[in-house]
Structure 1
């Protein structure tokens, strides 16, 4: 796979089916890294998917019509910045630079919006993801919590001051 052939785009609400497809694939592939479950996502209606795309900047990377990854930037009004969420790269695209393109898209989107900080959470033990975020200037804040309430998986916060 040649990184120069990757199409990176910001989804609109009318592309809710693309978002649904890639999100369901992500939750089926690596459920331990997400705050929602596959069953919860499968139960969402078209209106739910459309509404989610209105609240965020959801980027999708694809090549030859196949979605290879996704990430979102969501305004964090309480903490005056952007929250990077829902990061996922398809197994066949891991190690190709797709993840770097996705993170860069959110950082660029945050800068263009005049934001000063981007935050994210990464699951404890997800060393590959942590290295990705470190490469882009994120650092741990010392804040941690559960990936999903009532379940044992932990995640920790990272921050990038723009």
Structure 2
């Protein structure tokens, strides 16, 4: 895959169907790494999908009309900085550099907005994700938690200082 042909763009609220399609594919492909479930996502209404896109900056990677991955950045005024969430790359694009382009899109967006910190969580056992984040300047903070309340899966926090 030629990275120069990859388009990274921000989805608008009017592209909620694209977001829905990619998110459903994400939760079908890799449910063990996300806090939301496929059933929850399938139950969302158009209004829910539009609201989600209004609360975040959702990046989409594609090439020749094929959706290859997604990631979002959310500004957190309470904590200060940007929360990188919902990172996913399609199986056919893994190992091609698409993930690095998506992470860089969030880091560049955060820096352009004057933010100095980007943080994220990744699920225990997701070694590929941790390597991606380490390669892009993130470090573990030592903070751990659960993927969601009542769920025994552990997640680890990482931070990147811009």
Return the TM-score normalized by structure 1: 0.98
Match for residue 116 of structure 1?
A: 116
Unaligned ranges ≥5, structure 1? none
Match for residue 80 of structure 2?
A: 80
| Matches of 2:2 and 2:112, distance apart in 1 | 27
Deviation readout 1:79-137 (Å, 9 max, x if unpaired): 11000000000000000000000000000000010001001001111111001000111
Match for residue 64 of structure 1?
A: 64
* SS of residue in 1 equivalent to 2:15: helix
Deviation readout 1:46-90 (Å, 9 max, x if unpaired): 010001111111000011111100000000111110000000000
* SS of residue in 2 equivalent to 1:35: coil
Matched, 1:22 2:22: yes
Count of aligned pairs: 162
| Matches of 2:64 and 2:149, distance apart in 1 | 38
Query: Hey, which bits of structure 1, 4+ residues long, moved more than 4 A?
Result: none
How many angstroms does 1:2 deviate by? 1.1
| Matches of 1:13 and 1:27, distance apart in 2 | 20
1:89-108 counterparts in 2 under 5 A?
89-108=89-108
How many angstroms does 1:150 deviate by? 1.2
Root-mean-square deviation over aligned CA pairs = 0.6
How many angstroms does 1:148 deviate by? 2.1
Match for residue 40 of structure 1?
A: 40
* SS of residue in 2 equivalent to 1:141: strand
Unaligned ranges ≥5, structure 2? none
| Matches of 1:110 and 1:90, distance apart in 2 | 24
* SS of residue in 1 equivalent to 2:110: helix
Match for residue 157 of structure 2?
A: 157
| Matches of 1:21 and 1:77, distance apart in 2 | 29
